[in-house]
Amino acid sequence: MGRWEALPAARRGAYAETAADLAPQVREAVRAGDVVMVKGSNGSKASLVVRALGEAAKEEGR
C-alpha cells in the first residue's frame, strides 16, 4: 500500500488525468477562507484550475 492509499479518504484530496478534469473537483472542495496554491506548468494547463477558482470566488462575491 502506498502513502496516498494509507491516508483516510477524507484526507486524500483529488486526482485527475488533466487540469480540465481536476478544476471542477478543486472548485467543489474549496470553501470560503481556504488558502489554495496551484503549482503547475503552462504545459499542464494548471491555469484552468486557477480560472475555475477565480470564477467560483466571483460567484460567491469574494
In-domain check, residue 26: yes
In-domain check, residue 35: yes
Helix axes 19-29, 47-59, angle to 10 degrees: 30
Number of separate domains in the chain: 1
In-domain check, residue 5: no
In-domain check, residue 23: yes
In-domain check, residue 4: no
In-domain check, residue 25: yes
In-domain check, residue 43: yes
pLDDT score, position 1: 75
In-domain check, residue 10: no
pTM value? Answer: 0.73
Tens of pLDDT, residue by residue over 1-58, are 788 789 998 888 888 999 999 999 999 999 888 899 999 888 999 999 999 999 988 8
pLDDT score, position 48: 94
Give the domain range for residue 43.
16-59
pLDDT score, position 50: 94
pLDDT score, position 59: 84
H-only helix segments in 1-62: 3-6, 19-29, 47-59
pLDDT score, position 54: 92
